[in-house]
Amino acid sequence: MPYLSDYPRYAWQLINGERTNGELRLAQWRERDLAAHLDISAPLRILDLANGRLRPQYTILRGAGHQVYGVDIVNRPALNWTDIAYQAARWIYKWRLRPVNRIASSETLICGNVNWLPFPEQCFDLVTSIAAFEHFLDVPHVVSELYRVLRPGGVVWVSVHLFTSPSGGHNVSFTEIPLQRVPDGTDAWDHLRRRRLPFSVPLNEWRRDQYLEAFGRRFSLIEHYPAAYEGEALLTSEIAAELADYDREELICHAYVIVARKE
Ligand SMILES: C[S@@+](CC[C@H](N)C(=O)[O-])C[C@H]1O[C@@H](n2cnc3c(N)ncnc32)[C@H](O)[C@@H]1O
């Protein structure tokens, strides 16, 4: 479980810019990968799939002048103290991200399930999604929805938080990116081994090659690569032997990027 000290630590990471710097890095990777495939200097129609409560990439892309839509089950009116806390966090994000364009209030955020996208066919140039695919319980269905809503020549840029990574069970500290330590009484990669720590969010438990196969069935894969690593120091020879069914890259990569085009 996350440590209690994670919450003030997270607030400090918000204020000091550590969190938003990570988001800006993702946006830079995306821009670099898309440069040869889309004209990102012109305003594009973009779907940020599972935009999240903090809406970081939605904010960055709208701030860059694109027409961005977000679909997430959390896109609903603020009702309780948690929602109000997230509203404050979003304000800090926006202040830190310093978008070039003024961002109007969010009429393009839709409360919905990614399994049924409320958009007509071929209406997006780009779909992006960060740290969300690992939560989708019917990935092939979501991939076929993306295929439907993208125009021919449109591109998907997805970063998956791999289940096989040390933090892939989503039940360790969320303030350590990359993860440095595991909760007392458990071992690294507990979620692939003894499962002492319960999961608190839905996880499909997919492996890297399953995603590649699912995207490859519908799209042309442009490229895919491990974007960020964690836990090299935690991977002892005993653990590596116990987890011999997984390759080293799967075990120590926490952000895996897939870029694919609809032909
Ligand atoms: C770890 S968060 C990532 C959010 C955001 N992309 C970011 O990088 O901050 C995963 C998000 O996926 C959303 N999500 C999970 N399953 C979903 C589904 N079936 N339909 C819509 N949203 C979903 C959750 O509500 C959550 O906001």
Angle at 248 (CA atoms; ends 244, 250), nearest 5 degrees: 100
* Greater model confidence, 202 or 172: 202
Bigger pLDDT: 247 vs 9? 247
Distance 236 CA to ligand 1 centre (A): 32
pLDDT over 60 (residue 4): yes
Ordered by where they begin, the domains of the chain are 6-261 (3.40.50.150)
Please state, in angstroms and rounded to a whole number, the distance separating the CA atoms of residues 62 and 100.
9
List residues near ligand 1 (CB under 6 A).
50-54, 56, 72-74, 113-115, 130-132, 135-136
pLDDT tens by residue, 61-95: 999 999 999 999 999 877 788 888 888 888 888 88
Spell out the alpha helix ranges (H) of the chain: 6-16, 18-34, 56-63, 81-97, 139-149, 208-218, 237-242, 248-252
pTM (two decimals): 0.93
SS3 state of residue 11: helix
The helix (run of H) or strand (run of E) holding residue 173 is none
Residue identifier of the C-alpha nearest atom 4 of ligand 1: 52
CA 187/CA 239 separation, integer angstroms = 9
